[in-house]
């Protein structure tokens, strides 16, 4: 699922002129405990925006704010 979500998020972030940080939740015990059930998860400014299925239109709207 991450392989499908990453290009969508990368494209939206690039179009908005924003950096993308990709993290492996399994690499950090705290991330794993918090997010392992919601991979892929998209955070905007540290706040959960979406998980599992990423709606590109909704993400683009959120990035414009």
Structural domain boundaries of the chain? Answer: 2-64
Return all residues near 41 (Cβ < 8 A) that are at least 6 apart: 25, 35, 48, 50, 51
Position 50 scores a pLDDT of: 97
Q: What is the pLDDT along the chain (65 residues), one digit of tens a residue?
A: 889 999 999 999 999 999 999 999 999 999 999 999 999 999 999 999 999 999 999 999 999 98
The structure's pTM equals 0.87
How would you class 29 by CB atoms within 10 Å of its CB: exposed for 0-12, middle for 13-18, buried for 19 or more? exposed
**Ramachandran region of residue 25, left (φ > 0), alpha (ψ -120 to 50) or beta?**
alpha
């Amino acid at each position: 699922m991450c392989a499908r979500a990453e290009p969508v998020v990368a494209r939206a972030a690039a179009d908005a002129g924003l950096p993308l940080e990709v993290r492996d939740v399994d690499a950090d015990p705290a991330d794993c405990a918090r997010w392992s059930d919601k991979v892929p998860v998209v955070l905007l400014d540290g706040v959960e925006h979406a998980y599992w299925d990423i709606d590109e239109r909704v993400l683009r709207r959120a990035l414009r704010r």
